Chains A and B, each alone.
Chain A
């Protein structure tokens, strides 16, 4: 009897946690199908019209979304390339300053966004760099890089070094060894880092707001629109980003499972 009660209570707790995690996202998804342009709870009716041509009703929102995607892709590519190199160096080699370099990685991750944001702004202003997309991208690469480096480094530490030696022994040069042996082995780490970088970049608000100048990104547009109420297009775009994220995460999980076979 006691056992049954305990099990039921346990399930209720788990359900509550799941609801707590997903409810805000589900509200956004729900509102994206809501016919009226103004939020009213509970929602009445169902429509797909915001997923059609009406999605582009606000040109400034469309531009902001484009900017966010450009920034996220550029930041992902940039931070994956640089972060993988950093992660390899930190994982493979023993050198003077290794401890410091590791510390700097974690400092960059744990430093509050607002500190990074203000120092980056000061940096760009001092160098008289005009603020805009390029400065946003540079800033995003900077704070995504450490995440990639850390995930890649963790993977590199598990690498059997004799595999690289075996490849070298068969006549592979350094580049062929990296491409055919090292990279496939550390790829799960690189992929995890890339997903993390994309996710962090696309919704960044604090740093972007400091270094964007007059350029708008999706989070910045939402922030400036909250005063007048959010149009359903925001819910639609939010839902699309969410679904895209789910697909990528699901795909990488599948890929990871296949990769371990």
Chain B
């Protein structure tokens, strides 16, 4: 049942290569849109976490989501690989296109979506298995059984995650024995092992020291030519260091008569990282990037 669903959908989600041919149609030269979010609002029960977000994410770019807590940036990130589907009370209005196909369309399976659109989490969370098994987990799930093939994937994924040299002699040791920075790179290798098109990163460095953070940022630059990356970060310096484009989210408070205040996240401004930090158009963006509000 699941297998059927998967195969059916895999053919429906367009391959990145196939889309490269149609790049002439896109408005900006050499910019291929990967995600196109149109008026996205996301609710948890009756709570409107984020309201009316529209933005386009481009191929082989690093896009940073910045903003204060509660501004909905992680919520929007999790909409890109339908991770919010796992929260029973969550639902979404609006539409997100992934390479021209509606991500939430009736024929699209979340399983296929998540395989194509990988995620790295806030806290390094290796499975309580060996380093090898952590990386091989995804390929195995997706039906790769041959040992030599798995070996190959494990090595190349760990290479890409700049972890291979540190762990090649202890692949059978537990992934839980690694330092925080190594564990997070292992999680990145685990994500890359299923050959995703997009890597979503939800504050991937918030639990790491500056040196480990630097290594992850270098790694992002290295893999950028092969993947499209969206990163949520609380660290504005990180956004300026790694990203091509920045989206600034903020909390909007609605004071209703009767004292029933509601708050919701909104996208305030979206542009190239340089423009957002050097020439912000919105006063709220300016206040945030110059550090005047939290």
Which residues of chain A have a CB within 8 Å of any CB of chain B? 93, 160, 162-173, 175-176, 180-181, 184-185, 261
Contacts and interface: CB of A to CB of B under 8 A. Distances in A.
B111 interface: yes
Given A165-B86, A167-B137, A168-B83, A173 B125 contact: no
B199 to A, nearest CB: 10
B184 interface: no
Contacts of B81: 169
Given A168-B83, A171-B138, A162 B125 contact: yes
A169 B82 CA distance: 9
12 contacts: A163-B127, A164-B86, A166-B121, A166-B127, A167-B127, A170-B114, A171-B112, A172-B111, A172-B141, A180-B137, A184-B128, A261-B174
* Residues of B in contact with A, size category: 20 to 34
B66 to A, nearest CB: 22
A173 B83 CA distance: 12
Interface in B244-267: none
Contact of B121 (A165, A175, A261): A165
B119 A171 contact: no
A176 B112 CA distance: 14
Nearest to B116: A171
Contact of B111 (A162, A171, A181): A171
Nearest to A181: B127
A171 B122 contact: no
B119 A165 contact: yes
Contacts of A164: 86
A169 B80 CA distance: 11
Given A165-B119, A166-B121, A171 B83 contact: no
B2 interface: yes
Contact of A175 (B2, B86, B128): B2
A44 to B, nearest CB: 55
Interface in B76-132: 81, 83, 86, 88, 111-112, 114-115, 118-119, 121-123, 125, 127-128
Nearest to A95: B88
Contact of A176 (B118, B122, B141, B194): B141
A166 B112 contact: no
Contacts of B114: 168-171
B191 interface: yes
Given A165-B119, A181-B127, A170 B190 contact: yes
Given A165-B86, A184-B128, A170 B123 contact: no
Contacts of B194: 170-171
B118 A169 contact: yes
A185 B137 contact: no
A166 B142 CA distance: 14
Contact of A170 (B121, B125, B137): B137
Most buried by A among B2, B123, B187: B2
